Structure 1
């Protein structure tokens, strides 16, 4: 698990949070500091710094720093430490931009993979495959990912409804039952409408699956199954959703791939048949336009 993901997921006291925030915001300099220096910069104590490290599963501050050194010295471009909020800077050449965005997306997918619970994934795929209808509740930047998932499922005859507006979401959630499965997308996990929809769905007997940032939040508390993406992005101060976008797409692709695999041959034949029909319609339309 990525160190910053781990830091964001643990429960810390007020003074411990000051140390955690310092670790996150001063990633490059912490490796050269002593316990006393960190304590002075955070207005805490040596004991507090050591306690934070121990909560994270390390023997002490020196053992904790080894994790930083391991991450920093990695030669793999996908493991290069990038700021997910500002992966590019003013003046960057196009080659640098291409390298940074690719590295960030690769790292986000790897981190999302490390957060998977494969037992839950298998169970979630099974209920998605058997559901009469899959309802995806989303808003803002997650709509595009939901639509892509809907398109993939449409090609194999799987009914998916994307509910993206408050009124539309409430309509489907209030009528949801045990024949449906709900997938709820929210990066923060604190989107009020989405949390309400999760509760409405569960009240109707619907199994609920969340995709949200790693760590405890209201949406994950309200759902039956939870799948997590890295909590690397700030809500407002970022230039794009590069990391979270990669995470959302990856998990939804896993859902679709799992559904497809459940009846591989039949799904493939269905896809070929209907793609062939669509091709004939397009050919006939072109011929009529001549």
Structure 2
């Protein structure tokens, strides 16, 4: 969920805070470069009210809110289609109209991911995963399916990713992980109950966490040692299916796989080709 939507969804705001929130939603592009004193003056509120609003939505201060607002704004600018992320098609669309809308949604999601990705975070994630004694991958439901695909790709370049296909047993993977291992946790919301349990176990064991999530202020985002942030365009409460979020997760995992492949390019390519050769000629 993008910041303007989050602002409008909070029920515990005072009247003064609601006025500030409404102004931010209506003028998000200008608020990005506005000093806190100007925002307070234009909304007839105090700077204390603005700061209190920031804290209610999880930010430490106004600068942090502006940075997130600017990031959401830039993500919207790179979208080239007018497809509704949450409801990309309806019952009256033809097959080709649906195909066109899904293409637009996919392209917009990837472009938004690329806009949001932090190169240092990706570099650190790749370095941690490449040098780990073992990689433990944790996800739930659709995110877990994306991790299976990631495991399959990594296996072909001789990197084994530990996954348990009984999702309740993921706690055992975390329990037996060590400090020299790395845990890759994937959750679009960053608040899935199973993920929160796994975080607690991993933290107790001192296991580094690489996280992929759309909410850096979620429990997963806050606990991650390395965070790869996804666009927060999709509202999972109203989306008719988690199409955009799963495109984003798959893209992020493909980027990680490709970077690990590239970091050991000749070895990865050689292993992949040799494995194919042995398989095809048996």
* Band the TM-score falls in, shorter-chain normalisation: 0.7 to 0.9
Maintained 8 Å contact 1:181/1:206: yes
In the alignment, the residues of structure 2 paired with residue 10 and residue 133 of structure 1 have an alpha-carbon distance, to the nearest angstrom, of: 41
Instruction: Say which SS state the counterpart of residue 163 (structure 2) adopts.
Output: strand
Change in Cα spacing, 1:8 to 1:253, as seen in structure 2 (3 Å) is farther
Q: Are 1:120 and 2:116 matched, yes or no?
A: no
Aligned pairs for 1:6-21 within 5 A: 6-7=3-4, 14=13, 15=15, 16=17
In the alignment, the residues of structure 2 paired with residue 169 and residue 22 of structure 1 have an alpha-carbon distance, to the nearest angstrom, of: 44
In the alignment, the residues of structure 1 paired with residue 228 and residue 279 of structure 2 have an alpha-carbon distance, to the nearest angstrom, of: 35
What are the Cα deviations for residues 173-221 of structure 1, in whole angstroms up to 9, with x where unaligned?
A: 1111023111111111111221221232232232101111134111111
Instruction: Tell me the CA shift for residue 7 of structure 1.
Output: 3.2
What 5-or-longer segments of structure 1 have no aligned partner?
25-29, 32-44, 59-63, 282-290
Maintained 8 Å contact 2:216/2:222: no
Q: Which moved more, 1:13-22 or 1:116-125?
A: 13-22
Maintained 8 Å contact 2:154/2:161: yes
Please give the TM-score of this superposition, normalised by the length of structure 2: 0.75
Instruction: Tell me the CA shift for residue 22 of structure 1.
Output: 9.6
Please give the TM-score of this superposition, normalised by the length of structure 1: 0.73
In the alignment, the residues of structure 2 paired with residue 190 and residue 173 of structure 1 have an alpha-carbon distance, to the nearest angstrom, of: 17
Instruction: Tell me the CA shift for residue 96 of structure 1.
Output: 1.8
Q: Are 1:222 and 2:223 matched, yes or no?
A: yes
Aligned pairs for 1:43-122 within 5 A: 47=43, 57=66, 78-122=79-123
Instruction: Say which SS state the counterpart of residue 132 (structure 1) adopts.
Output: coil
Instruction: Tell me the CA shift for residue 20 of structure 1.
Output: 5.1
Maintained 8 Å contact 1:230/1:243: no
Change in Cα spacing, 1:241 to 1:17, as seen in structure 2 (3 Å) is farther
State the aligned residue count.
246
Match of 2:199 in 1: 198
Maintained 8 Å contact 2:216/2:227: no
Instruction: Say which SS state the counterpart of residue 79 (structure 1) adopts.
Output: coil
Instruction: Say which SS state the counterpart of residue 183 (structure 2) adopts.
Output: strand
Change in Cα spacing, 1:19 to 1:275, as seen in structure 2 (3 Å) is farther
In the alignment, the residues of structure 2 paired with residue 6 and residue 216 of structure 1 have an alpha-carbon distance, to the nearest angstrom, of: 12
Deviation above 6 Å: which 4+ runs of structure 1? 9-13, 21-24
Change in Cα spacing, 1:105 to 1:230, as seen in structure 2 (3 Å) is same
Change in Cα spacing, 1:186 to 1:57, as seen in structure 2 (3 Å) is closer
In the alignment, the residues of structure 1 paired with residue 24 and residue 142 of structure 2 have an alpha-carbon distance, to the nearest angstrom, of: 29
Instruction: Tell me the CA shift for residue 10 of structure 1.
Output: 7.7
Instruction: Say which SS state the counterpart of residue 158 (structure 2) adopts.
Output: coil
In the alignment, the residues of structure 1 paired with residue 227 and residue 261 of structure 2 have an alpha-carbon distance, to the nearest angstrom, of: 21
Change in Cα spacing, 1:114 to 1:160, as seen in structure 2 (3 Å) is same
What are the Cα deviations for residues 118-169 of structure 1, in whole angstroms up to 9, with x where unaligned?
A: 1121111011111122111011111221011001000011010124545311
Match of 2:149 in 1: 148
